[in-house]
Amino acid sequence: MAGTMNEIDGPKGNDAPNGDRRPGIIICAYEGEDAGWDLVEDLSGEIWSPAGARAVPIAGNDPDALATTLAARLGSGECRAVLLVGRTHKGQGFRVQMRAENRTLDHKHRLSDTGPGVARATAPVADILRALTAAGLQADASSEAEADAGSYLLYRVLADLPDGPLTPSIGLLRAPAPANEAAVRKGIKAAASAMASHLAPLPRSN
């Protein structure tokens, strides 16, 4: 379907029109094809966005290339948040992963000799859990890092955050496997809305 997260990427995605001060929240389904990640609301082709922010879907890709893309979008200043979305194999509900370890993609070595051993998600975990629960979804938060691309990307994005007074909101939402499309879509919207509620408008352009 046109407009899914697997088809909208980079500057061609949901860029801010002139005068739109809503900050971008990147929603990245890093595992590739999955109909549940579709954020198109209806046949109009309009992409859903949370109140006060613009959803910027980024397609799944090679993890290293994806990490570079995410860092570039955050570095531009127009995107102030990243919601990584994948699967969990640790339970039957949605899971918000609160930290990631300094490990290579195969989880055998340290990714960075100088980086911290653990990087903590900057997304509002408690608010995300409340939003998921309010949406009727079973959810918990965990400090356990699953050995997959999601944990690798979470660490990479957190380690590459640009310096500045405003720390971007970075989170990782894991949907249960299997989960029906409606539940996955509901979970993404709940988590993104909770994150967006903490984002400040972009500065006015001169």
- 11 CB neighbour count, 10 Å cutoff: 9
Secondary structure class of 88 (helix, strand, coil): strand
pLDDT for 179 equals 76
The Cα–Cα gap between 123 and 121 comes to: 6
Give phi and psi for 17, each to the nearest 5. Answer: -65, 160
Go through the domains of the chain in sequence order and give each one's CATH number. Answer: 10-196 (3.40.630.20)
pLDDT for 91 equals 86
pLDDT for 119 equals 92
Strand partners, 81: 25, 169
Per-residue tens of pLDDT for the chain, all 206 residues: 333 444 434 434 455 566 788 999 999 999 866 655 677 666 667 889 999 999 999 988 899 999 999 999 999 888 999 999 999 988 889 999 999 999 988 888 888 888 888 999 999 999 999 999 999 999 999 999 999 999 999 999 999 887 667 899 999 999 998 878 889 999 999 999 999 999 988 887 65
User: In sequence order, what are the residues at sequence separation of 6 or more whose Cβ sits closer than 8 angstroms to the Cβ of residue 195?
Assistant: 25, 50, 53, 81, 83, 123, 124, 127, 128, 169, 171
The Cα–Cα gap between 159 and 102 comes to: 9
Secondary structure class of 81 (helix, strand, coil): strand
